[in-house]
Structure 1
Amino acid sequence: MRYADIVVPETPATRAALEVATAYCSPALLNHSVRAYLWAAAYAAMNDIAFDAELLYVSSMLHDLGLVREFDSHTVPFEEAGGHLAWVFCAAAGWPVERRVRASEVIVRHMWDEVDVEKDPEGHLLELSTGLDISGRGPEAFPEALRTEILERHPRLGIADEFVACFEDQARRKPTSLAGRFVHNGFAARVAANVLDR
């Protein structure tokens, strides 16, 4: 598997999702969102997992917008805020209600410990790819040359420190959220040990 083999969908919705992410995310968070899609699509190709590329790409670009100042919610966890944002974005993109709900589900589920690939391949792939990119979970599933090329094209730019700070802030304000649970269970140490930052 090579970087050139990863299919990136080109649709009005994917172009708009990238535009939104570029406008609101820090450079490090934007690159994380792009890598989240790339790891997910590469893993799917290597493991024969059929998935909806447009749905996964849009969800990848929007999945962490609940962490940014403009969309941060003081009432719901960031992944739920991101899911609501995705529903609104997808409505504007003309997606039917069922597809809007799917984008929201994929974003909410990326924080789960595990997502059943049979029931939700896009949610499974985004949960897996973000786990790799932030916590360093499962790098052996990707050829070293592919990891190197993705990181060269979309460098990490200090995402580890930025993400830990975001999660610690979420945990302070929303201690019962999944981000709060992550922080309580040693999230910072896992992120610091991520092999992608070596």
Structure 2
Amino acid sequence: MTKTHHAISAISGIAIPNSTLAHAITEFVRDTETELLFNHSSRVFFFGAIAGQQRGLTFNPELLYAATMFHDVGLMPSHSSADLRFEVDGANAARDFLQSYNLDPSDIEKVWTGIALHTTPGVPEFMHPVIALTTAGVEMDVLGLTYDRFPDATREAVVGAFPRTPAFKEDIIQAFYDGIKHKPDTTFGNVKADVIADKEPHFHRGNFCSVIRCSHWHG
């Protein structure tokens, strides 16, 4: 199956890197994640890389592949900590994995940052292309924010290669919830608080203003 994955025809000039590292990433993520998340992450790579092409950005496809494929690994029980944001769990898993390959530490840090910031809108787009395009791919596949910037044929080719489930919108929300419900405090100040609130009507999310008012400072 791994060979089939890497043998998929280029889409808009983008292909999955055919390297030892990329094959190892594919194998690891396929063995670690659900099919839902594996296909989602594969689409994120293509949408992110094509967005980079559209924006005229220069980037290392292997590093983008690492960041996009690992970005949701932190949702899986095997890589989920008790108290860290799932994004950080995924970033840590990617760093641990990549350290056994001969990569420049600064490149590993770019992958780490791209994963850690992929649910923090408004910041990654101004950072290194690997970081910016990881978020761009996620925002396209999950939120559809740039849907109209991709020709119909391109979207159809990506989804044809890595299918969305018939109820992907609800399935991905459920996958987010399943991955973070045991540590709701980690959603303070980020978009995943919306997921807990959606699934648990009585959930009281952390409040930034309350934290300020309840601090030990006087006045």
- State the TM-score, normalizing by the size of structure 2: 0.77
1:105-156 Cα deviation digits (max 9, x unpaired) = 1111111112354532111111111111112222011111111111111101
If asked which structure has higher relative contact order (CA below 8 Å, sep 6+), I would say 1
1:162 to 145, 168, 171: 171
Query: How far is the alpha carbon of 1:171 from its aligned partner?
Result: 4.9
**TM superposition outliers: structure 1 runs of 4+ over 6 Å:** 184-187
Give the corresponding residue for 2:185.
175
Query: How far is the alpha carbon of 1:180 from its aligned partner?
Result: 3.3
1:150-176 Cα deviation digits (max 9, x unpaired) = 111110124433321133341562234
How has the CA–CA distance of structure 1 residues 22 and 176 changed in structure 2, closer, same or farther, with 3 Å as cutoff? closer
1:52 to 49, 60, 68: 60
Query: Mind listing any 5+ residue stretches in structure 2 that lack a counterpart?
Result: 1-9, 200-219
More helix, by proportion: 1
How has the CA–CA distance of structure 1 residues 114 and 63 changed in structure 2, closer, same or farther, with 3 Å as cutoff? same
1:81 to 63, 75, 89: 89
Task: Write the letter of the residue equivalent to 1:69.
Answer: P
Task: Write the letter of the residue equivalent to 1:163.
Answer: I
Task: Write the letter of the residue equivalent to 2:173.
Answer: V
Q: Aligned equivalents of 1:186 and 1:145: distance in 2?
A: 33
Does residue 61 of structure 1 match 2:69? yes
Of structures 1 and 2, the larger Rg is shown by 2
Give the corresponding residue for 2:210.
none
Matched positions, count? 186
Q: Is the 8 A contact 2:82 2:182 kept in 1?
A: no
Query: Mind listing any 5+ residue stretches in structure 1 that lack a counterpart?
Result: 188-198
- Aligned-residue Cα RMSD (Å) equals 2.1
Q: Aligned equivalents of 1:31 and 1:52: distance in 2?
A: 21
Query: How far is the alpha carbon of 1:183 from its aligned partner?
Result: 2.4
| Alignment map for 1:10-21 (pairs within 5 Å) | 10-21=18-29
